[in-house]
Amino acid sequence: MRNYQQMNNNEYKILIADDSEISFKIISEILAIVSDKVSLTYARDGKEACEQANKIIPDLIIMDVLMPEMDGIEAIKQIRNNSLTEDIPVIVLTATESLEKAYEVEANDFISKPFNKYELLIKVRSALNLVQKIKKIKSQKSELEKNHLAVTQQRDRIAMQKKDIVDDIRYSKRIQRAIFPTDEYIMETVSEHFILNMPRSIVSGDFYWAGRLNGKKVIALGDCTGHGISGAFMTMAGIAFLNEIMSKKIAQNANEILFELRRLVMKLLKQKGEQGEAADGLDISLAIIDENNKRIQFAGANNPFYLISNSKLIIYKGDRMPIGIHLNFGKPFTNHDIEIKKGDMIYLFTDGFADQFGGPRNKKFRYKQFQELLIEIHKLPMDKQKENLLRTITNWMGDNEQIDDIMLLGFRI
């Protein structure tokens, strides 16, 4: 009784193919016991059975074997060859001598003639229970396919959005490169030089800059808060402010330039020294080259200045405060006046190289090793120095992710 009640919640379509109307009537009366929601369709021969099966797509077919015009075996063949009906279970009504043929055409079950009422009930009930399970599986499959389609469409949308974002960032890179000094201008400022520029993302939070002030050459290298898009915005501000300071000749010495740069950056970021303000800004090394008097002015905000002369490394430290809000934001920067001679090698750089993790013990590269490397390569031509530095940091990094933008500018006096 449980199975009957379970089936009563569903409507089933059963196609009965038999040339005897008496058989159809008997089967109909018996199947009424199974469910009042069983819809019966009658076909008088195999040809009509194929037509009805294609039209109504029944849940179950009860097929007599011996029928005029087209027998049940041929009808089952055609049903199995039709993509719409190929999976419909078929119970054949047959004498035992036809069972082999019924098996060959993939009938699902059989009832021997003359058939027994309860044998028919049991086999139909079993078939319909199977149909019910198949429907449930197909419904679940359909739902999964819908979910899969939704996930696929969402994935495609995300991929398209990512592509649009990456395209925008790549265009931002072109804009950033356009505001950096041209190679020709850098060459005019420091003819013998190299620049190692390795952004962590497509665009960089590090920048280099060159200019002129009272007949002297000025060169700077900065590291803005963050990297990627946020850092890139600050690089544009830093370069724009340095251009403004040079064009208006607001400051004359390296430390004065950094002081004015700090004022402009704090104004841009609306930093007033109040509690809870974001400590955004930048670190920078700036040098004014006086070729006539063979001297360099250097001022640094957290970033140092390396001079290698006579194979000896001399380190000039920048002040321990940034271009931006700081506890001592009113304090002036230190101005270093440095004597230079032809052949001296100078390096300006950000902290990305020394802070990169890697090596056999996955440690930072560190400044001591960085300094030893510069001493080792400083006599090489500029392109060879750059190759050595790039190869060294790439090998050191290995499979590790690059943690920060890396920039290094070296030039020979």
Residues 303-341 pLDDT 10s: 999 999 999 999 999 999 999 888 778 899 999 999 999
Mean pLDDT of 271-300: 87
Partnered with residue 63 across adjacent β-strands are 17, 92
pLDDT of residue 349: 97
Q: Is the pLDDT of residue 388 over 90?
A: yes
Q: What is the pLDDT of residue 35?
A: 63
Whole-number Å distance between alpha carbons of 40 and 12: 8
Among the ranges given (81-90, 136-145, 171-180, 350-359), the one the predictor scored with the smallest mean pLDDT: 171-180
User: For all residues of the chain together, what is the average pLDDT?
Assistant: 88
Rounded to the nearest 10 degrees, what angle do helices 72-80 and 46-56 cross at? 30
Residue corresponding to tokens 């915005």: 233
CA separation for the pair 116, 27 (Å, rounded)? 10
What value does the mean pLDDT take over residues 235-259? 91
Q: What pLDDT was estimated at residue 119?
A: 83
* pTM beyond 0.75, yes or no: no
Q: What is the average pLDDT across 155-164?
A: 83
Those residues whose C-beta lies under 8 Å from the C-beta of residue 188, and which sit 6 or more positions away, are none
DSSP class of residue 319 equals B
74, containing H or E segment? helix 72-80
Q: Beta-carbon neighbour count of residue 44 at 10 Å?
A: 17
**Average pLDDT of the segment spanning 363-388:** 96
Nearest to residue 338, comparing CAs of 370, 368, 306, 311? 306
Candidates 238, 207, 218; CA nearest to 350 is 207
Question: Which pLDDT does position 21 carry in this prediction?
Answer: 84
Contact present, 373 and 364 (Cβ < 8 Å)? no
pLDDT at 125 over 80: yes
Q: How confident is the model at residue 162 (pLDDT cuts 50, 70, 90)?
A: confident
Secondary structure class of 378 (helix, strand, coil): coil
Burial class (CB in 10 A: 0-12, 13-18, 19+), 77: middle
At a CB cut-off of 8 Å and minimum separation 6, what does 364 contact?
Answer: 354, 355, 356, 357
Q: What is the pLDDT of residue 276?
A: 66
Structural domains in the chain, CATH included, are: 2-140 (3.40.50.2300), 180-412 (3.60.40.10)
Share of the chain above pLDDT 70, in %: 94
pLDDT grade for 277, boundaries at 50, 70 and 90: low
**Ranges 158-172, 316-330, 398-412, most confident:** 398-412
Residue 95 has a pLDDT of 67
| Pairwise CA distance, residues 154 & 147, whole Å | 10
Backbone angles phi, psi at 234, to 5 degrees: -70, -30
For residue range 175-202, list pLDDT tens digits in order.
Answer: 777 788 888 999 999 989 999 999 988 8
Instruction: Work out the average pLDDT over 168-175.
Output: 74
What is the average per-residue pLDDT within 146-162? Answer: 86
Residue with the bigger pLDDT between 135 and 348: it is 348
